[in-house]
Chain A
Amino acid sequence: MSITITNLRKYYGKSAAVDDFTLEIPSATVFGLLGPNGAGKTTTFKCMLGLARPTSGRILYDGKPLMPATFEQIAYVPERSVLYDWMTVEEHVEMNRRAFAKFSPARAFELLETFNVERQKRARALSKGMRTAVMVAMAFARNAEILVLDEPTGGLDPVNQRHVLSLMINEAAKGNSIIFSSHQIGQVERAAENIAVMDRGRLVLEGLVDDLKADRKIVEGIFPDVTFTLDGIANDPRVARSDRTERIVRLLVTGGAADIASRLSSAGAMAVRVLDLNLEDIFLYAVSPANATTDVVVRESSS
């Protein structure tokens, strides 16, 4: 089941939580939605699930609007615990069994055992991580075609975090779609095939992780003094952004890195390097303004 989001806007008063957001999420994929705090990821999820009413825009599932029956195919793990404190884990399983036709209690108990969650315990007695584990177990026992996971590893220990990532990849292998958000970009890089980056409610970057990494390079030039000109290099369409810090200029390029490096040398740079980016670098460049101080860690690929 594919999801098409078109011109989604969600305003709270005059403030835009999501602003003209358009995205196509293909079926059978692990899709990572990234963004800093307040970027609009959770609001986007809520709009997708009908939990929040979009100010404008459309969200279609296989070309059809969200209907109550669609929830038979969608499982959702919110970023905070929504479990009923007074209910036991077992009662939560029963609640899901009654609500969803394809829910498998056996699978739920199997997953809960993997996460070491005691089924007799009340939700209020569970730690934050255990609560997340219960919600994740319920979602993955749903046999749903789409899993929307908002920070699905929040509070989990590294072993269980890895387990959740494996579950996500397995679901995608079965032909189901996973849409998830996480602040841990390493996890996104490990699990997601596609990513979209949001910032201040807008989509700022989207694509296949491998393509984004292959296309994007940093071309760094060091000039002899602070008075240098780039001779229009920064205006080259392949240069996505440029950052200057005293004698150093860093250019984020989306292609033709060798050519840009050559032009920097011609402009007077005494040393030029072409550097690879990881997903965290791509993310940070996408959400931080040009010339802002970034902690982008770059690795040298080839000189």
Chain B
Amino acid sequence: MNYVEWLRVRNLLRTTAIILAILVVLAVILRISVSRYMSPDAWVAHMSLDPGTKVTHTVLPGGTKRTTILDPSEPSTVVIDDHGYSGKHIVITEPTSRAHKEQQAHNIGIGSIQVHESRHGSLTTTVIDTNGSVPMLYYMALADVVALIVATILAAPLAREIDGHLEIALTRPCSRVRYALEVIGADAVGILAASVMTIAAFYLVQLLFESARLDFSGINARAIAMGVTLPLAWYALLCAATTWLNRSYGAVLGFAWPVTILIGALTLIPPGNVVALFVHDVAWVLSRLNPLTYVSFASPNDNGTLDYTGAHFALRLSIEVLMFVVYGAIAILKWQRVEA
């Protein structure tokens, strides 16, 4: 691995680690601050304020603390099984008039919290489990934000050498291609490391609040694949652009995001007249060169489970991989031709 590039990566990862550590510290402060609100006792105390409400506490054979709240006036029943750090299982039974009427069954998953709502005649039962597994999709989304920032900062490794250090870079006993691959390899490791660090930090934050279990199955494997390739393809795009423009690399990196957002916005222009149509079409063509265009977003389907919108996930992933390879090759091609 190229030592100079690794030092750059190390310095950036150090900064990333400091920022993530600050976020974890803030989460610790938040956790301490809300600790008393997170106890079922607080909810129970609040709910039992209603006149006529009856609250009973029992301990089940396994050690689970069960709290039952009966409100005869509604009538509604809430049963809270507190498994301690392993989460809670809450069953709320209430008249249908107070609950959603649109569907017979309704599922919502937010992080580790799973909510299942079902109707049985005039009663609706809502089951809340707070110990569900967290889809990796969420983690990858957060990790990609950090990874894309890191990729943008690192994405001019060859241009940085061209800008005043070629005499060092090109007088080493290795070929130019190998040198470029070492440099890009160091950056790729750095980008992936930033993703892993982000996932670790947010996992730690989650652990502060509950027992966290990560879900790597099904859609999550695809989320990981997309999450890994997207920042690498983005990095390669900027790497190619900065290598060809060498001394203007700072401007390329600085304007990369504004230009990307601008082009994205221009593709949304309704083609009402010739000018708008032309702008739209140019922006559309340009956006095809951007790896961010091919990101597949996941969203809940009718069953409440997450799935990728749009088809051709494999095609989109292939395009991301292809962009990483092609843009990387373009950068190396230019690198082979540079002169001091």
Q: Which chain A residues have a beta carbon within 8 Å of chain B's beta carbons?
A: 46, 49-53, 68-72, 74, 76, 78, 82, 84, 86-87, 91, 94-95, 98-101
Contact present for A84 and B3 (CB under 8 Å): no
> Using a Cβ–Cβ cut-off of 8 Å, how many residues does chain B contribute to the interface with A?
18
Q: Who on chain B is nearest to A91 by CB?
A: B7
Q: How far is the CA of A98 from the CA of B172 in the complex (A)?
A: 10
Q: How far is the CA of A98 from the CA of B164 in the complex (A)?
A: 21
A-B contact pairs, 18 of them (CB 8 A): A49-B167, A53-B339, A68-B173, A71-B171, A71-B173, A76-B167, A76-B171, A78-B167, A82-B166, A82-B168, A84-B4, A84-B165, A87-B4, A91-B7, A95-B3, A98-B3, A99-B172, A100-B173
Residues of A within 8 A of B309 (CB): none
Q: How far is the CA of A137 from the CA of B19 in the complex (A)?
A: 38
Find the residue from B7, B168, B178 having the highest chain A CB count within 10 A: B168
A74 touches which of B166, B171, B175, B340 (Cβ 8 Å): B171
Which 6 pairs between the two chains have the least Cβ-Cβ distance?
A: A51-B340, A71-B173, A78-B167, A82-B167, A72-B173, A52-B339
Residues of B within 8 A of A82 (CB): 164-168
Q: How far is the CA of A86 from the CA of B164 in the complex (A)?
A: 13
Contact present for B340 and A52 (CB under 8 Å): yes
Residues of B within 8 A of A99 (CB): 3, 172-173
Q: How far is the CA of A5 from the CA of B174 in the complex (A)?
A: 23
- Report B309-340 CB contacts with A as 1/0, cut-off 8 Å: 00000000000000000000000000000011
- Given A76-B167, A76-B171: 13 more A-B contacts, CB < 8 Å: A46-B339, A49-B170, A51-B170, A51-B339, A52-B339, A68-B174, A68-B175, A82-B166, A82-B167, A82-B168, A84-B165, A98-B3, A100-B172
* B337 CB to nearest chain A CB (Å): 8
Residues of A within 8 A of B4 (CB): 84, 87, 95
Contact present for B170 and A50 (CB under 8 Å): yes
Residues of A within 8 A of B175 (CB): 68
Q: How far is the CA of A86 from the CA of B160 in the complex (A)?
A: 12
Q: Who on chain A is nearest to B337 by CB?
A: A53
Contact present for B173 and A69 (CB under 8 Å): yes
Residues of A within 8 A of B167 (CB): 49, 51, 76, 78, 82
Find the residue from A50, A82, A100, A101 having the highest chain B CB count within 10 A: A82
Residues of B within 8 A of A70 (CB): 173
